[in-house]
C-alpha cells in the first residue's frame, strides 16, 4: 500500500511545488513589470530567477549529501547566500504585490467619487449663488426703480401744480384787455414765472435722471463686484477641497479599506484593547502569505530532492564511471594513434634510406664503365 502511495505523493508534491513556483514567478513578474516597463523582460527575468532558485535548492541538497565529489565550504557559503537573496527577492515581490492589492484597494475609486462629489457641490453652490445673486439684483433694481418713481412724483408734485396755476393765471390774464391788448406787464410777469417754473422742472428732472443713472451704475458695479468676489471665494474653496482630496491618503477611512481586513480588525478590536490598524494587519498578512509561499517552494523541492537522493547519487556515480571509462578509452585510442604514427614514420625513414643506398650503388657501377657485355665488345 505504501509503495503505491509513494509515487502518487511524490507526484502531488512535485505538482504543488511547481504550482507555487508558477504563482511566485507570476507575482514577481507583475512587480518587475511595474519597475522595468517591459512585460517580456519582466516575465523572462522572473522565470529565470525562480527556476534558478528551484535548481539551486535541488543541487545544493544533492551536493551537500553526496560523498563522491568534494563540495567546498566557500562554494556552499556563496550558494546559501545566493539562495537567501533569491528567496528575499521573491518574498519582497510577493509582499509588494499582495500589499498593493490589500492596502486600501478602493482608494482610487473613493477618491474619484469624492472628487466628483466636490465638483457636483461646486456646481450646485454656483447655481444657487447665481440664483441668489440674480434675486438680489432684481430686488435692488426694483428698489431703485421704486425710489426713482417716488422722486419723480415728488418733483412733479413740486412743480406741476405751480405750472398749472401759472397757466391758469396766464389764461385769465388774457381776458383782461386794455385797448384791445391783453399783453401787459402782469401778463409778461406771469409768462416769465411760468417759463422759469417749467425750466426749473426740466432741470430737476434732468438732474434726477442723472442721479438715478449714477446710482444704478454704482449699484450694478457693487452687485457685479460682490458676485465676482463670491465666485472667486467659491472657486478657491473648491480648489482647496480638490487639492486636499488628491493629497489625502485616506488613512483610517473604512471606505477605501479591504472589507475582510476591516471586519477582521473590528473583530480584534472587540477582543484586544489595542488592535492593529488595517494597514498593519495588511502588512503582516502580506508578509505571512509571501513567506509561507516561499517556504512551500523550499520545503517541497527539498523533500523531493531528499526522497530521491539515493537514486540521484547512483545516477551520479554511474555517470561519473561512464565518463571516466569514456575518458580512459579515448586516451588509449589516442595513444594507439600516436604509436601508429611513429611506426609509419620509422617505415618511411627506412624506405627512404634503402632507396638512397640503391641510387648510390647504381651510380658507382656507371662510373666503373657500365655493364659487362658492353665492355667485351
**How many other CB atoms sit within 10 Å of the CB of residue 17?**
21
**pLDDT at residue number 293:** 85
Check residues 296 and 367 and name the one with the higher pLDDT: 296
Lowest mean pLDDT among 127-141, 147-161, 248-262: 248-262
Q: Is 315 exposed, middle or buried (0-12, 13-18, 19+ CB in 10 A)?
A: exposed
Q: Are the CB atoms for 49 and 28 separated by under 8 Å?
A: yes
Mean pLDDT of the 180-198 span: 77
Distance CA 286, CA 99 (A): 6
**pLDDT at residue number 240:** 93
**pLDDT at residue number 231:** 92
Average pLDDT, rounded, for the chain: 81
Q: What percent of the chain has pLDDT over 70?
A: 81
CB burial string 153-166: b at 16+ within 10 A, e below: eebeeebeeebeeb
Lowest mean pLDDT among 203-212, 228-237, 269-278, 355-364: 355-364
Check residues 57 and 310 and name the one with the higher pLDDT: 57
Q: Could you identify the residue written with the cell 422722486?
A: 151
**pLDDT at residue number 375:** 39
What nine digits make up the cell of 186? 402782469
Mean pLDDT of the 155-182 span: 76
Q: Is 297 exposed, middle or buried (0-12, 13-18, 19+ CB in 10 A)?
A: buried
Distance CA 22, CA 5 (A): 25
pLDDT of 373 above 50? no
Q: Containing H/E element for 33? A: helix 2-36
SS3 per residue for 201-232? HHHHHHHHHHHHHHHHHHHHHHHHHHHHHHHH
Q: Is 146 exposed, middle or buried (0-12, 13-18, 19+ CB in 10 A)?
A: exposed
pLDDT digits (tens, 9 = 90+) for 209-263: 999 999 999 999 999 999 999 999 999 999 999 999 999 888 878 888 888 888 8
**pLDDT at residue number 176:** 62
Residue-by-residue DSSP string for 52-113:
HHHHHHHHHHHHHH-SSS---HHHHHHHHHHHHHHHHHHHHHHHHHHHHHHSSTTHHHHHHH
**pLDDT at residue number 179:** 54
Mean pLDDT of the 36-63 span: 85
Mean pLDDT of the 125-147 span: 92
pLDDT digits (tens, 9 = 90+) for 342-355: 666 777 777 777 77
**pLDDT at residue number 62:** 73
Q: What percent of the chain has pLDDT over 90?
A: 24
- Torsion sign (Cα): 335, 336, 337, 342: positive
Whole-Å CA distances, 242 to 21, 245, 285: 44, 5, 33
Q: Is 72 exposed, middle or buried (0-12, 13-18, 19+ CB in 10 A)?
A: exposed
Mean pLDDT of the 264-289 span: 83
The most confident of the ranges 37-51, 77-91, 209-223, 332-346 is 209-223
pLDDT of 187 above 50? yes
Q: Are the CB atoms for 103 and 287 separated by under 8 Å?
A: no
Mean pLDDT of the 132-140 span: 92
- Torsion sign (Cα): 212, 218, 219, 220: positive
Report the predicted TM-score, pTM, of the whole model to 2 decimal places: 0.56
Q: How confident is the model at residue 370 (pLDDT cuts 50, 70, 90)?
A: very low
Coil, strand or helix at 313: helix
Q: Are the CB atoms for 316 and 66 separated by under 8 Å?
A: yes
Amino acid at each position: 500500500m505504501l509503495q503505491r502511495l509513494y509515487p502518487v505523493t511524490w507526484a502531488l508534491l512535485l505538482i504543488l511545488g511547481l504550482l507555487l513556483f508558477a504563482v511566485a514567478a507570476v507575482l514577481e513578474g507583475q512587480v518587475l513589470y511595474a519597475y522595468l516597463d517591459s512585460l517580456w523582460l519582466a516575465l523572462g527575468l522572473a522565470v529565470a530567477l525562480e527556476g534558478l532558485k528551484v535548481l539551486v535548492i535541488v543541487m545544493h541538497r544533492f551536493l551537500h549529501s553526496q560523498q563522491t565529489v568534494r563540495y567546498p565550504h566557500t562554494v556552499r557559503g556563496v550558494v546559501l547566500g545566493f539562495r537567501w537573496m533569491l528567496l528575499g527577492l521573491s518574498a519582497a515581490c510577493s509582499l509588494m504585490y499582495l500589499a498593493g492589492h490589500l492596502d486600501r484597494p478602493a482608494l482610487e475609486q473613493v477618491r474619484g467619487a469624492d472628487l466628483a462629489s466636490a465638483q457636483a457641490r461646486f456646481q450646485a453652490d454656483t447655481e444657487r449663488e447665481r440664483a441668489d445673486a440674480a434675486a438680489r439684483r432684481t430686488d435692488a433694481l426694483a428698489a431703485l426703480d421704486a425710489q426713482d418713481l417716488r422722486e419723480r412724483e415728488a418733483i412733479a408734485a413740486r412743480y406741476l401744480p405751480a405750472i398749472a396755476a401759472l397757466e391758469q393765471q396766464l389764461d385769465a390774464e388774457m381776458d383782461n384787455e386794455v385797448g384791445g391788448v391783453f399783453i401787459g406787464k402782469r401778463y409778461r410777469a406771469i409768462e416769465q414765472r411760468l417759463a422759469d417754473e417749467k425750466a426749473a422742472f426740466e432741470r430737476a428732472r434732468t438732474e434726477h435722471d442723472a442721479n438715478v443713472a449714477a446710482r444704478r451704475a454704482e449699484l450694478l458695479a457693487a452687485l457685479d463686484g460682490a458676485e465676482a468676489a463670491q465666485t472667486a471665494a467659491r472657486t478657491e474653496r473648491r480648489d482647496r477641497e480638490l487639492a486636499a482630496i488628491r493629497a489625502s491618503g485616506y488613512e483610517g477611512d473604512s471606505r477605501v479599506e479591504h472589507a475582510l481586513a476591516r471586519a477582521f480588525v473590528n473583530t480584534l478590536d472587540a477582543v484586544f484593547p489595542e488592535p492593529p490598524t488595517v494597514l498593519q494587519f495588511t502588512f503582516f498578512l502580506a508578509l505571512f502569505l509571501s513567506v509561507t509561499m516561499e517556504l512551500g517552494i523550499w520545503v517541497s523541492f527539498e523533500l523531493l530532492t531528499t526522497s530521491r537522493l539515493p537514486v540521484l547519487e547512483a545516477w551520479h556515480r554511474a555517470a561519473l564511471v561512464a565518463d571516466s571509462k569514456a575518458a580512459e578509452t579515448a586516451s588509449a585510442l589516442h595513444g594507439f594513434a600516436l604509436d601508429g604514427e611513429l611506426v609509419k614514420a620509422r617505415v618511411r625513414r627506412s624506405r627512404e634510406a634503402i632507396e638512397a643506398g640503391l641510387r648510390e650503388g647504381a651510380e658507382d657501377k656507371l662510373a666503373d664503365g657500365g655493364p659487362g657485355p658492353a665492355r667485351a665488345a
